[in-house]
Amino acid sequence: MDLHRATVTANEQIMPETHVLDLASPGLAKAARPGQFVHIRCGPGWDPILRRPMSIFKIRPDGISVMVRAVGEGSTIIASSPLDSELDVLGPLGKPFTLDPSARRLAMIGGGYGVAPLVALAVEALGKGCEVVLMVGAATADYVFPADELPTDVEYAIATDDGTLGHKGFVTELLPRYLDWCDAVFACGPTPMLEAVARITRPARYGVAGAMRSEKPVQLSMEQHMGCAMGVCLGCVVMTRKGYQRVCRDGPVFPADTLVWEGSRA
Amino acid sequence: MHGLELPNPVLVASGTFGWGTEYQPLVDIQRLGAICSKGITVRPRDGNPTPRIAETPAGMLNAIGLQNVGLRAVVQEKAPIWARWHVPVIANISGESVAEYEQLAGTLDGVPGIAGLEVNISCPNVTDGGRLFADTPKSAATVTRACRAVSSLPLMVKLSPNVGNIVEIAQAVEEAGADCLSVANTLLGMVIDVKARKPYLANRTGGLSGPAVRPVIVRMVYQIASIVTIPVVGVGGVTCLEDALQYLLAGASAVQVGTANFVNPRTATEIIDGLEDYLTQQGIRDIAEIVGAARPPAARPAVSTTA
């Protein structure tokens, strides 16, 4: 982990308001792991003041790519970065996903923008000979992550809120189809979606309700408003069985069974 | 600071630099003037529910709620690390009662690795109906006196800007035995979530920090440094050499870098470099030559203190 001056070598809009930025930085490329993130400064000034956390979307030999959704002032500044401009990038940060060598069939669930770290994970898993199903959810077809950004070996399943593409409904409704098949589950997206993944997989993990017979690991990448991203400010905590833990340093990837969801701390 | 020789006048503020270890991979922490630790309470604290931080124009609000490992863990686990460092570590302490401040100050007295105390009197005083110790000259002086009585460490008292007359509080704290003042803590603020039609922070209110607060705190330093005889440390929105110079010229003997650490962890060391260059270029041999230089020579007692 270090501070990097990373040159923007490509900036492509892949969905409405969503850009993929290729950042040249051999240092980042060497250190980055799927599930980790970088913290990017929104220009040289102090307004907006805080950096923006971005999941690592692709890891290339000469740098990384990030997927930036321009939803606010800061992310719009970053998404608008011109070619050859330099970004002030802190990272890579946080704990990555863990790929257990014995897990051969992986189910991944991404909600909207949360697909980003799963793409990096899918690429690594395929390289190790794993089979990968990636389920993605979006509001409408326009916001569905484009399949041509994925390796062809990934089985791709889609859900949209309005039914304009794939299954009509929540992406988590696709998950039961793959529970018997998979060895491990990985998810990233909005907190309600992650809570649903934890809930759906919980009986399976405990061998209840006739789903899976053996315990299967479920890893969730959590989102939280972040200040420093270095474990200092304690702004980004989530409740776990060990008390509050920092998304930026103890996460963002947590085993599902360590998390305590709002209203269910007991 | 009385009784404590700092290598330079650029410190890092409590709550923005953790226990000092977190930024070690990025920052040459041994070059800092001092590290003010994360706030320490007698018992470990979980802190507040989330959301805990909100971004505002050129600033941020935080309502962390003093999440920390507690006094015993600091003495057993953190202080031994600090004892091996060259950089002085000033322990920031927060109590819910005068007795807790006494316990914190007394326990930390003489512990190797702790070079001084920063007494945070801006935390909720549950024994006094939710008011803050920093609210009145009397309560601020009571806490200061209690800490002074049980500790031989240099005592820096951190004032709250959320008072009507901060100069009055500063004077009371000086008379009660403080060696130094840090001016100031965060400004109480609120952000409303207009979609949800309710306060954004789970705690409803939070402390505003960052460049947005700098003019307010520079004014307070200017006022206080004109009145007290002990050193004042300016804290609020320091991001660069020029910001630090504003505080020094207003009368601060040193500054603390806070929120800027989150954005550029090397802010403090860059200011130290900049300050050395500045003093050389200006032909200034002792930094004391510029401390308070922005104040008119005869400006001493007559500063208005209306917030």
Among A1, A5, A42, A49, the residue to mutate for chain B (most B Cβ within 10 A) = A49
Joined tokens for residue B269:
């060391």
What pLDDT is attached to residue A266?
Answer: 34
What's the gap in Å between the CA of A236 and the closest CA on chain B?
Answer: 7
Neighbours of B205 (CB within 10 A): 13
The torsion angles phi and psi of A92, rounded to 5 degrees, stand at -70, 150
Confidence bin at A215 (pLDDT 50/70/90): confident
User: What pLDDT, in 10s, does the model give residues B86-114?
Assistant: 999 999 999 999 999 999 999 999 999 99
* Residue from the list A88, A233, A238 with its beta carbon closest to the beta carbon of B262: A233
Q: Kindly give, in sequence order, each residue whose CB lies less than 8 Å from that of residue A24, ignoring residues fewer than 6 positions away.
A: A6, A7, A8, A9, A62, A63
Partner-chain contact A227 B23, CB within 8 Å = no
What's the gap in Å between the CA of B60 and the closest CA on chain A?
Answer: 8
Q: Is A224 on the interface with B (CB under 8 A)?
A: yes
Q: What is the pTM of this model?
A: 0.94
User: What pLDDT, in 10s, does the model give residues A240-257?
Assistant: 999 999 999 999 999 999
* Residue from the list A49, A88, A237 with its beta carbon closest to the beta carbon of B210: A49
CA neighbor of B159 nearest in space, from B256, B67, B74 = B256
What pLDDT is attached to residue A171?
Answer: 97
What's the gap in Å between the CA of A250 and the closest CA on chain B?
Answer: 13
* Residue from the list B47, B55, B264 with its beta carbon closest to the beta carbon of A244: B47
Partner-chain contact B64 A234, CB within 8 Å = yes
Confidence bin at A208 (pLDDT 50/70/90): low
The residues that bridge with A240 in the sheet, in sequence order, are A243, A259
Calculate the average pLDDT of chain A.
93
Joined tokens for residue B251:
């009368």
What pLDDT is attached to residue B300?
Answer: 44
Rounded Cα distance, B260 and A228, in Å: 10
Kindly list the averaged pLDDT for each block of 10 residues, start to end, along chain B of length 307.
Answer: 83 98 97 98 94 97 94 98 98 95 97 98 57 89 98 97 96 98 96 97 95 98 97 98 98 98 98 97 95 80 42
Q: Kindly give, in sequence order, each residue whose CB lies less than 8 Å from that of residue A4, ignoring residues fewer than 6 positions away.
A: A25, A27, A28, A88, A89, A90, A91
Q: A189 by DSSP, 3-state: which?
A: coil
CA neighbor of A55 nearest in space, from A119, A125, A5 = A119
List C-alpha distances in Å: A12 to A52, A76, A82, B102, B283.
19, 14, 10, 60, 52
CB A153 within 8 A of CB A126: yes
Minimum CA–CA partner of A41 in chain B: B263
The residues that bridge with B267 in the sheet, in sequence order, are none
Confidence bin at A202 (pLDDT 50/70/90): confident
List C-alpha distances in Å: B250 to B173, B226, B239, B255, B290.
20, 9, 16, 11, 9
The lowest-confidence range among A114-128, A193-207, A208-222, B51-65 is A208-222
ipTM: 0.92
CB A138 within 8 A of CB A114: no
Partner-chain contact A234 B55, CB within 8 Å = no
Partner-chain contact B50 A232, CB within 8 Å = no
Among B55, B78, B200, B259, the residue to mutate for chain A (most A Cβ within 10 A) = B55
What is the Cα Rg of chain B in Å? 18
Q: What residues of B are in the A interface, CB distance below 8 Å?
A: 15-18, 22-23, 25-26, 46-47, 50-55, 57-60, 62, 64, 67, 210-211, 239, 259-266
Summarize the confidence of residues A164-178 as an average pLDDT.
96
Q: Which residue type occupies A263?
A: G
Chains A and B: how many Cβ contacts under 8 Å? Answer: 94
Rounded Cα distance, A211 and A224, in Å: 31
Minimum CA–CA partner of A88 in chain B: B264
Element spanning A157, H or E: strand A155-160
Rounded Cα distance, A133 and A115, in Å: 12
The residues of B annotated as belonging to the active site are 123
Among B35, B52, B67, B266, the residue to mutate for chain A (most A Cβ within 10 A) = B52
Q: Is A84 on the interface with B (CB under 8 A)?
A: no
Joined tokens for residue A97:
């996903």
Let me know the angle formed at the C-alpha of B25 by B24 and B29, rounded to the nearest 5 degrees.
30
* Residue from the list B46, B239, B262 with its beta carbon closest to the beta carbon of A244: B46
